[in-house]
Chains A and B, each alone.
Chain A
Amino acid sequence: MMGNSLRGNCAIVGTAESDLGEVAPGMTPVDLTAQAIVRALEDCGLRLGDVDGVFTATTQTRMIAMAVSEYLGITPRYFDSTQVGGSSFMAHIAHARAAIAAGRCEVAVIAYGSTQRSVSRKFASPPERNAYEDPYRPMMPPSAYALAASRHMHQYGTTREQLAEVAVAARQWAQHNPRAFMREDLSVQDVLDARMVSDPFTVRDCCLVTDGGGAIVLTSAERARDLKHRPAFILGTGEHISHNMITMMPDLTVSGAAYSGPLAFAEAGVAPRDIDVLELYDAFTYNTLVFLEDLGYCTKGEGGPFVSGGRIAPGGALPVNTNGGGLSYCHPGMYGLFLLIEAARQIHGVCGERQIAGAELALAHGNGGVLSSQCTVIMGSDATL
């Protein structure tokens, strides 16, 4: 191991969701962020006074680190509001572990809040003007992902039915999660017959639009061992930015997960086949499929057949998105934090009927923008150190 390795230097010790779904009238993103932070501290047995690092990002409050710190009455020694869309929180993990290693903070909270269902997406994430896209009226972000999916279908023969399998698997997992927003039965045919949004995606290929927030508590390995849960040690991280506009994506069929994944696996010293449970950012059904390819679970182009036949559903060979995902559990705009929460909870062993027996290694992969930012986090129990 290299001398400057951060492998296992810190661990996720507490997790919490705020209120989810459609929250009480007048609630703000800061309300939800603060609620989640206090709940996450309760989950691990730390107090607000222990927090000396704040990592947070949102689309609704420009200076969220200040707003949250003021609300909670804390003055963190270290803060970071890196904003790369839905993968921001994986980047926060990577930055927080470096800060902890450098002695800049010891107890970091990574948190998020959104009221995008209550205030509508138009107000939660006002679109930025773009003179080279706006005249064509793409519906962003769905149309960008639809364009990428169209290319994958053209090159590899991926079908709408295969994309629908991803939504069906997510729904089946959601049926094991009491906090999931949508739990009714869903079939491949239901997905295909739903209202078309941006071909090839129907509304059931697209993530939910919900309110919600969450928080995780990250602290040094030494301190983690004295707290309530079995720690989820951070073993490896990888960050990659490939473009901003979908027009500039180097290859529409290859995401930055092909770069962030290998970085995280190499640092963690594990291979894709070693991972017990995967949480992949499913903003759209296509995401799960392309991330499985790019993270090394099947060869490029084989994602469609790979996700078919219930392979990633409950009872399948590979547990993916065990909370029901952005497609069926919740999706308050920047969903990445919820992937980290579920991955850590699988290591903590607190997932109830959806708990993966013997989960020692978990992977959370975040996506932001229009397949633009890709960040991977691999975490494991003390048995994996």
Chain B
Amino acid sequence: MNEAVERSPLAIFQDHCRRGELAYQVDAAGNAVFYPRLVAPGSGGALEWRISAGLGTVHATTTLHPRNAEPYDVSLIDLDEGFRMMSRVEGIAPHAVRIGMRVEVHMSPGSDEQPPYPVFRPLEDA
């Protein structure tokens, strides 16, 4: 009989975020998988969790201009392990975020409703 799942992929991901870790998964062939899932895309096989080194490159970027608030960045980040995620580059003006910029992860503290979540900063020596 199949055993029921005790913790969802999202809950495990958020547990790692609380520990300051950006977690992702790999399939049996070693391909990086993100967002976290129960089964591997393409094969349906098992997935193993890994911790990313947190280094990546901006793949695409946009600056949002809300009507009554400050502009902010939304970017797609390619992590060096081979997965892509949506995030925000902080620590510089949103318009200064550039495609190809090297970035490193840190955890935004979140709030009562939002667990800690990964954001990025430009790499120091960039």
In the complex, are the beta carbons of A136 and B65 less than 8 A apart?
no
What are the interface flags for A185-205 relative to B under an 8 Å C-beta threshold, 1 for contact and 0 otherwise? Answer: 000000000011111100000
Q: Which of A132, A150, A247, A248 makes the CB contact (< 8 A) with B61? A: A150
Known contacts: A136-B88, A147-B60, A151-B60. The answer to whether A197 contacts B72 by CB under 8 A is no
Q: Smallest Cβ distance from B92 to chain A, in angstroms?
A: 15
What are the interface flags for B33-70 relative to A under an 8 Å C-beta threshold, 1 for contact and 0 otherwise? Answer: 01100000000000000000000000111111110000
The yes or no answer to A110 lying at the interface (CB within 8 A) is no
In the complex, are the beta carbons of A150 and B86 less than 8 A apart?
no
The yes or no answer to A295 lying at the interface (CB within 8 A) is no
* Bound complex: CA A138 to CA B65 (Å): 11
Q: Which of A132, A138, A154, A197 makes the CB contact (< 8 A) with B85? A: A132
In the complex, are the beta carbons of B99 and A150 less than 8 A apart?
yes
Q: Smallest Cβ distance from A266 to chain B, in angstroms?
A: 27
**Chain B residues with CB below 8 A from A151, complex form:** 59-60, 99
Q: Which of B10, B76, B110 makes the CB contact (< 8 A) with A147? A: B76
In the complex, are the beta carbons of A136 and B87 less than 8 A apart?
yes
In the complex, are the beta carbons of A252 and B60 less than 8 A apart?
yes
Q: Which of B61, B64, B108 makes the CB contact (< 8 A) with A135? A: B108
**Chain B residues with CB below 8 A from A196, complex form:** 63, 65
In the complex, are the beta carbons of B64 and A247 less than 8 A apart?
no
**Chain A residues with CB below 8 A from B76, complex form:** 147, 246-247, 252
**Chain B residues with CB below 8 A from A132, complex form:** 35, 85-86
**Chain A residues with CB below 8 A from B87, complex form:** 136
What are the interface flags for B59-101 relative to A under an 8 Å C-beta threshold, 1 for contact and 0 otherwise? Answer: 1111111100000101110000000111110000001000110
Q: Smallest Cβ distance from B72 to chain A, in angstroms?
A: 7
**Chain B residues with CB below 8 A from A146, complex form:** 62
Q: Which of B35, B95, B108, B114 makes the CB contact (< 8 A) with A199? A: B95
Q: Smallest Cβ distance from B97 to chain A, in angstroms?
A: 10
**Chain A residues with CB below 8 A from B100, complex form:** 154
**Chain A residues with CB below 8 A from B62, complex form:** 143, 146-147, 150, 198-200
Q: Smallest Cβ distance from B108 to chain A, in angstroms?
A: 7
**Chain B residues with CB below 8 A from A135, complex form:** 108, 110, 114, 117
What are the interface flags for B1-32 relative to A under an 8 Å C-beta threshold, 1 for contact and 0 otherwise? Answer: 00000000010011000000000000000000
In the complex, are the beta carbons of A195 and B99 less than 8 A apart?
no
The yes or no answer to A133 lying at the interface (CB within 8 A) is yes
Q: Smallest Cβ distance from A162 to chain B, in angstroms?
A: 17
Instruction: Enumerate A131-152 residues with CB–CB distance to B below 8 Å.
Output: 131-133, 135-139, 143, 146-148, 150-151
Closest to B117 in A: A135
Closest to B14 in A: A131
* Bound complex: CA A139 to CA B86 (Å): 13
* Bound complex: CA A167 to CA B117 (Å): 37
In the complex, are the beta carbons of A246 and B86 less than 8 A apart?
yes
In the complex, are the beta carbons of A137 and B64 less than 8 A apart?
yes
Known contacts: A135-B117, A143-B64. The answer to whether A247 contacts B84 by CB under 8 A is yes
* Bound complex: CA A148 to CA B76 (Å): 10
Q: Smallest Cβ distance from A245 to chain B, in angstroms?
A: 8
In the complex, are the beta carbons of B86 and A247 less than 8 A apart?
yes
Q: Which of A143, A148, A245 makes the CB contact (< 8 A) with B74? A: A143
* Bound complex: CA A133 to CA B64 (Å): 14
* Bound complex: CA A1 to CA B100 (Å): 49
**Chain B residues with CB below 8 A from A247, complex form:** 34-35, 76, 84-86
Known contacts: A132-B35, A136-B74. The answer to whether A199 contacts B86 by CB under 8 A is no
**Chain A residues with CB below 8 A from B65, complex form:** 195-199
In the complex, are the beta carbons of A148 and B86 less than 8 A apart?
no
**Chain B residues with CB below 8 A from A200, complex form:** 62
Q: Smallest Cβ distance from B117 to chain A, in angstroms?
A: 4
Closest to A196 in B: B65
* Bound complex: CA A135 to CA B87 (Å): 8
- A-B contacts, 30 of them at CB < 8 A, read A132-B35, A132-B86, A135-B114, A135-B117, A137-B74, A138-B86, A146-B62, A147-B74, A150-B60, A150-B61, A150-B62, A151-B59, A151-B60, A154-B60, A154-B100, A196-B63, A196-B65, A197-B65, A198-B62, A198-B63, A198-B64, A198-B65, A199-B63, A199-B65, A199-B95, A245-B35, A247-B35, A247-B76, A248-B84, A252-B60
Ranked 3 nearest A-B pairs via Cβ:
A146-B62, A147-B60, A199-B63
Q: A137-B72, A137-B74, A147-B60 are known; give 15 further A-B pairs, CB within 8 A.
A: A138-B74, A143-B62, A143-B64, A146-B62, A147-B61, A147-B74, A150-B62, A154-B60, A199-B62, A199-B63, A200-B62, A247-B34, A247-B86, A252-B59, A252-B60
